[in-house]
């Protein structure tokens, strides 16, 4: 417990884990809004980069160039989703709702990173 210097009665104390005051929360809100603007800009750049088309029209959907394009697009959208999750976690943390952060983070599926998934061979060694 520490003394509250702004209060007129010095005998009253406030807990050490008290939430920040209104001025600090205003600064946090501004920073969170700027972060959200950056995420939104990133999503618009993804859409602009792919011109609204997931596939190159002149090529087959299974062509290597189209497959690369799809993987790249999905990877960028995955990054944007991760940033949005981070934004939500920061927002709930700033509002003192850490219990919601545990709910959001706990339900996330972990996707293995690295190369493509291995296919099971049609013939197995016995």
pLDDT digits (tens, 9 = 90+) for 59-117: 999 999 999 999 999 999 999 999 999 998 888 888 777 777 777 666 555 555 554 55
Q: Is the pTM of this model over 0.75?
A: no
pLDDT interval class at 126 (50, 70, 90): very low
Q: Answer yes or no: are the C-beta atoms of 32 and 86 closer than 8 Å.
A: no
In contact, 13 and 2? CB cutoff 8 Å:
yes
Q: Is the pLDDT of residue 11 over 90?
A: no
Judged against a pLDDT cut of 60, whether residue 35 lies above it is answered with yes
Instruction: Give the least confident one: 42-46, 52-56, 67-71, 78-82.
Output: 52-56
Terminal C-alpha separation, the chain: 69
Mean per-residue pLDDT of the chain: 76
pLDDT above 90 (res 14): no
Give me the sign of the Cα torsion angle 86, 92, 96, 102: negative
């Amino acid at each position: 417990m520490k003394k509250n210097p702004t209060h007129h009665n010095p005998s009253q104390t406030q807990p050490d884990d008290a939430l920040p005051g209104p001025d600090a929360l205003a600064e946090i809100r501004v920073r969170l809004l700027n972060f959200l603007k950056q995420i939104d800009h990133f999503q618009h750049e993804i859409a602009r980069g792919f011109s609204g088309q997931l596939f190159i029209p002149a090529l087959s959907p299974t062509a290597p160039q189209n497959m690369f394009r799809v993987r790249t697009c999905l990877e960028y959208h995955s990054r944007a989703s991760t940033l949005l999750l981070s934004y939500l976690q920061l927002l709930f943390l700033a509002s003192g709702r850490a219990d919601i952060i545990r709910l959001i983070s706990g339900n996330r599926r972990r996707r293995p990173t690295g190369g493509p998934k291995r296919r099971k061979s049609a013939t197995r060694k016995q």
